[in-house]
Amino acid sequence: MSDRIVFHAIFATFCVFLGACGQTQKNIDSLDVASPDGSLVVRFLLEDGKPRYAVDYKGRAIIDTSRLGFSLQAARALHSGFVLAAADYSSVDEQWTQPWGEVETIRNHYNELRVSLRELGNDGRLMNIVFRVYDDGLGFRYEWPQQAHLKDFVITDEHTEFALAGDFKAWWVPAYEKSRYEYLYSESPVSNLDVVHTPLTLQADDALYLSIHEAALTDFASMTLLRSGDNVLESDLVPWSDGTRVRAEAPHVSPWRTVQVAETPGDLLTSYLILNLNEPNVLGDVSWLRPSKYVGVWWAMHLRIKTWAAGPNHGATSENVKRYIDFAARHGIDAVLVEGWNTGWEKDREIQGKHFDFTRAYPAFDIDAVTRYASERDVRIIGHHETRAVVANYENQLQQALDFYREHGVDTIKTGYVGARVDDTEWHHGQFMVQHYRKVVEEAAERQMMLVVHEPIKDTGIRRTYPNMMSREGARGQEFNAWSRDGGNPPEHTTILPFTRMLAGPFDFTPGIFDLLFEDARPDNRVNTTLAKQLALYVVLYSPLQMAADLPENYEGHPAFRFIVDVPVDWSDTKVLNAEIGDYISIVRKARNGGDWFLGSITDENERTLDLSLSFLDEGTAYRAEIYADAADADWVSNPLAIDISDQQVTSDSVIQLRLAPGGGQAIRFTPLASPAVQ
């Protein structure tokens, strides 16, 4: 049977199902594809040759009929005049293993509908739209097959719409702003949005949450969302400096446009749809990857105790870095980040980017001696490449710069792109930079090097394909607490991040500040949490590279540092025990190696008491719970350092009560005891 005949058969079925095909004036083709459990249904429609889609969840519309397609430069648009050439259904149900991550195995279970569209008459150009429908959401992407009449093409606009079925509540950061993604999240109805970044998190009602994002952003512009009508969001691709959006050559594919759907906020967080929509690992054996904890010559710079540039308070001197290496070795911390070691920082901020030399160290930093010193102590060095968004200078040196580090045994690099525009012209999130960031990932992978990227392109799950792409920034991190003129991140910031920025992937937030007030260094700023909440963030904000961000002297001798030493950075399982976006969240994660579980629970500015069942623990096993709790009188404003550290024996039958201070949190390590639980 030809594809065409298959389509007619399916079409006939759905005409009966819809019961309306014969009555309408319009010529409408319609095809449904449902998720494996049937709860989510995507309907593809071809209305008078115009492609559309709509989405239902458990019989309720969540996305009304929405447009699909593109405008092209100097060519007819690809959004109308189509006939359906073929429609193919398929299904996949498989499991795959993450080399590192928040869970070890992921089920990839979906039903697919691939519609092949052909233009009527003219050149008969071809475009496919592929829908994959999972129980936890959907993805669809456009494909432009190799063909005679569409070779090189330039996209000037994408018309993909998300016509929401209501004025849902949204958590969002604005797009096209100077500080990239680094803004506090706003909460408002969709009707208040202008143009925002993804992931965009939405709440329809008490039992329906959505997140719109994209997966596998590979050679395209990133999608922002523009409110283009009542409850309608439209893809607004970040343009090149000439105003066009994407330069492509067929065959080409767009990233997946994704909508995750969940009945609780926690289920959004444990959806792995974005990863499932990325291609499997292309690097083969990745046993060289090292999820790690690190300390670094970093916070002292943000507190202005040390400088990046050479001078009397230079941070990256051999002597100071060796002090961090000694500290790391003493406490079993894997690595030390070294910023401000290479020449160029002495120039004015505006022109540094043109002057950075990525293979020339300041005289005070003996890179041979320091890297040797580190390796003798079994500590790794994390290198640093700040570009100040002068990508031309970085790309000119990229290969030598990576080789230089590799020759010194440095296998992890933090990159940075501080600036409002790249090379004074391009946005950080357009196709130019998507290509650049990818180039660096590939060059690093060739040398078996890991990356943590600041001022990055947003995460769209490419860590599945390139598992050396470990972590990134892409939101307001800890550093804002050191210097932000608005007083830093308010207590609710970290109760929003898990449901917004973190839905994209790991975040190098850099938790673990113990000296929360740093009154001597920067009296006008502080960290707006309790100490126990800083510990809880190691579990709440997932990253395979986690920094112990404070100065070594603030950790030395402090009993709470034990938790940072103990907490893993690689997990076999993750569960959200309770959560309200912007209010609180409790997460437990199981260590990838061994049977320990770790809990992180945090609240916003409000005090809370949460009852937690420990039913996630193995039945019949007794566990030692090491509890790091806000003291009874702790409060982020008036008494942030008060912490109670205690021990308790628990089992899977236990229900414990967490008391979180205003702006507080709690962290617990559960270790199985050798002897069976006393019944």
* Binding footprint of ligand NOJ on the chain (CB under 6 A): 298, 339, 386, 416, 418, 454, 473, 479
Contacts of 429 (CB under 8 A, 6+ apart): 175, 180, 221, 222, 224, 238, 457, 458
Strands laid side by side in the 571-580 sheet? 571-580, 584-591, 597-603, 665-676, 621-630, 643-650
The 10 Å Cβ neighbour count of residue 413 is 24
Whichever of 364 and 418 has its CB closer to ligand NOJ, that residue is 418
Whichever of 479 and 604 has its CB closer to ligand NOJ, that residue is 479
Whichever of 315 and 664 has its CB closer to ligand NOJ, that residue is 315
Least distance from ligand NOJ to the Cβ atom of residue 647, Å: 36
Q: Cα(557)–Cα(330) distance, rounded to whole angstroms?
A: 12
Under DSSP, the state recorded for 458 is P
Catalytic residue among 479, 519, 607, 626: 479
Least distance from ligand NOJ to the Cβ atom of residue 623, Å: 37
Report the SS3 class of residue 509. coil
Are the C-beta atoms of residues 328 and 281 closer than 8 Å to each other? no
Judge whether 479 counts as a catalytic residue. Answer: yes
Q: Cα(241)–Cα(427) distance, rounded to whole angstroms?
A: 8
Q: Cα(509)–Cα(538) distance, rounded to whole angstroms?
A: 9
Least distance from ligand NOJ to the Cβ atom of residue 459, Å: 15
Torsion from C-alpha of 227, 229, 234, 238, nearest 10 degrees: -50
Report the SS3 class of residue 342. strand
Residue 580 pairs in a beta bridge with 584
Tokens of 342: 């290479």
Are the C-beta atoms of residues 603 and 506 closer than 8 Å to each other? no
Are the C-beta atoms of residues 87 and 6 closer than 8 Å to each other? yes
Tokens of 269: 């967080």
Whichever of 256 and 427 has its CB closer to ligand NOJ, that residue is 427
Whichever of 416 and 511 has its CB closer to ligand NOJ, that residue is 416
User: What sign does the dihedral 276-277-283-288 (CA atoms) show?
Assistant: negative
Whichever of 418 and 521 has its CB closer to ligand NOJ, that residue is 418
Whichever of 56 and 473 has its CB closer to ligand NOJ, that residue is 473
Least distance from ligand NOJ to the Cβ atom of residue 483, Å: 11
Provide DSSP, 565-601: HH--S-EEEEEEEEEETTTEEEEEEEESSSS-EEEEE
Report the SS3 class of residue 493. helix
For the annotated catalytic residues, the residue numbers are 479
